Amino acid sequence: MININVPVGASLNKDGTCSFSVWAPMCSSISVVTDAAPEDTWPMKKQKLGYWQVTVDDTTPGMQYWYKFDDKLLRPDPASRWQPDGVHGASAIVSTDFNWTDDHWQGIELSELIIYELHTGTFTPTGNFQGIISKLDYLQTLGITAIEIMPIAQFPGHHNWGYDGVFPFAIHNEYGSAADLKQLVNAAHQHGIAVILDVVYNHLGPEGNCLHHFAPYFTDKYKLYWGDSINFDGAGCDGVRNYYIRNALMWLDEFHIDGLRLDAVHAIFDSSAKHIMEELTEQVRQLEQRSQRRKILIAELDLNNPRYVTPVEKGGYGMDAQWVDEFHHALHAVLTGELTGYYEDFGSLEHLARSMQCSYVYTGQYSQHRKRFFGVEPKNVSYNQCVAFIQNHDQVGNRLLGDRLSASLPGEALKLAAATLLLSPHIPLLFMGEEYGEKNPFLFFTSHSEEELIARLCEGRRKEFAHFNWEGEVPDPQSEEIFNQSKLSWKTNESPGLFIFYQQLIAFRKKKLAMQNFRRYDAVRNIRIQNNVLQFERHGNEESLIVCLNFGKEPESLLFEQSHTYKKLIDSAGDQFGGNGSLTSSIIRPGQPFLLNPLSVCVFEPTDQSDEFGSL
């Protein structure tokens, strides 16, 4: 399949003119109308494959415009770069000029990723890109190496998670301008922090969606829960593929963004000889060569299928990494005891051990929740191609009350969860606020204006929650109060030991050689379960560590089988982490039993290994 590589949208030129290009094969005539001269129209000339183009004189940044169909119907630009008045208003011309100072930056490798997921509107009191910039020092101190920003494409109203965006090329008008986003990326790079953007290529939101007026962007060949399926493989699909590939390259090239997290790729249906994800990856690899900067593609999918991250030459799509929901499910079920909804497939330490070893839990076994055999083993996938988490926007926000783990678990259990994630070989992803035990919920919120849509949305939420047997009224997603409740409190001093524990675990992960091995066959060894303790070894670079995780509410007595003397490096029960005092000796000698505190973690290494990090 050949990418047709035609520009779309409005491109401001140095001479004050602006070139407009729109894909509208279904139109018999189309013109540009600007707010500067609404009585005039600029007829566009039809080019090959249904593209229309024209160059307009005397244009300036901020000038608003519409496309006019057959001299009567006005619509905003499908590739609009700015919607000053929201999804129902005119599009506006944007300057791409920016004074970058990140020439030193070459991107980030998978092995270096410590990801922090955030929502622009609720991360800071200001709810914009400038607010994120103000927290970069904090994130750098924590040890974060990449921020993952939830979708920012223009959506209807004031507040939204972002997955209802309808203008993929336009930045939500309340988050800031294109220059503000570039300033954020530039500043992040100065702090040694990469920027990953969450993008939605499987559907568009229902309100303000005007693409169907222009071209066959959608298909009824496939059915989606969220809306019309994108046409990636039917008649006219070349223009659709070009539209989304150019969108991805815009973020990665013009905005210097380091990677994309592609939402729900399992809902991107494509029977073409070359899947759209493979074609997108191919184009991104070419951009890497041109820019000499690493660009990362992360797939979110719920299929336990390694095809998306398998190299193209081995029959895959060549993407870099994928989210692994089952690590979360296994850990959450053990910590909370919840066994309804999809948690019914989990609940034992054996499930968690399997996720630690295989990333997926289900690799061909029968799933009670799915009522079928499910998954395959990712044998040739490195651990650092799998993004794991203990909380994220979905797993918190799609709960009835948007409650975080901190709402129901004691501090010792929160530290245990953090250690399970950060001592695993997977790419760790933190959800904003978890590092200090944020108590405010993260609820589902929208600000649609269409009453019928709102009613359908609320009914859909009620049906979804029914699977979990949660009790209580479904919070109104349209409520301003629900949105405000979801903002971080930034009460970082209420659990200082938790923040220090996260900070030290991240530093430990970066510095210890055994933590730098991500090979599937030997990074994790000798996984054992004894009563409520999960024990495993991390190996790499001629270094070995033993990790002991006690999920029980009572102390556990352990005995190492190896004839080594071990030094304790990490103990979550320590005073410096707000613990109750450790029961575990600093030195464990051969044949010597020792106690492990309830809801705690200890990490040991043989005393004959060099100890550059010291003990915690």
DSSP 251: I
Q: Which amino acid is at 346?
A: F
Distance from C-alpha of 549 to C-alpha of 147, rounded to nearest angstrom: 28
Residue 397 is labelled as binding a ligand: yes
DSSP 468: T
Which residue spans within 341-466 are E strands per DSSP? Answer: 366-367, 372-373, 386-389, 427-431
Which letter does DSSP use for residue 16 in this model?
S
Contact 450, 209 (CB under 8 A): no
162: left (phi over 0), alpha (psi -120 to 50) or beta: left
Known binding residue 393? Answer is yes
92 membership: H or E segment, kind and range: strand 91-92
Cα–Cα distance measured from residue 362 to residue 381, given in angstroms and rounded to the nearest whole number = 15
Asked whether residue 395 is marked as a ligand-binding residue, the answer is: yes
481 is in an annotated binding site: no
Q: Is 265 annotated as a binding residue?
A: yes
Q: Is 564 annotated as a binding residue?
A: no
Q: 329 among the known binding-site residues? A: yes
Cα(350)–Cα(534) distance, integer angstroms: 9
> Is the Cβ–Cβ distance between 432 and 116 less than 8 Å?
yes
Q: At 477, which amino acid appears? A: P
- Continuous segment of H or E residues that includes residue 183: helix 178-190
Pairwise CA distance, residues 299 & 168, whole Å:
18
Consult the annotation and say whether 325 binds a ligand.
Answer: yes
396 is in an annotated binding site: yes
Q: What DSSP string runs through 132-154? A: HHHTHHHHHHHT--EEEEPP-EE
Catalytic site includes residue 263? yes
**Ramachandran quadrant class, 529 (left: phi over 0; alpha: psi -120 to 50; beta: rest):** beta
Is 262 assigned a ligand-binding role in the annotation? Answer: yes
Spatial contact of 514 and 544, defined as CB atoms under 8 Å apart? yes
Q: What type of residue sits at position 528? A: R
Catalytic residue check, 403:
no
Among 611, 590, 594, residue whose Cα is nearest residue 602: 594
Q: How long is the chain?
A: 616
Residue 312 annotated as binding site? no
Residues 6+ apart with CB under 8 A from 455: none
Q: Which of 228, 233, 279, 300 is catalytic?
A: 300
- Token representation of residue 521: 């066959």
327 known member of a binding site: yes
Looking up tokens 């009191």, which residue turns up? Answer: 125
Catalytic residue among 164, 198, 258, 263: 263
Q: Contact at 8 Å (CB) between 570 and 508?
A: yes
- The single-letter DSSP state of residue 196 is E
Residue numbers in the known binding site for substrate are 261-266, 325-329, 393-398
Residue numbers in the known binding site are 261-266, 325-329, 393-398
Give the catalytic positions in this structure.
263, 300
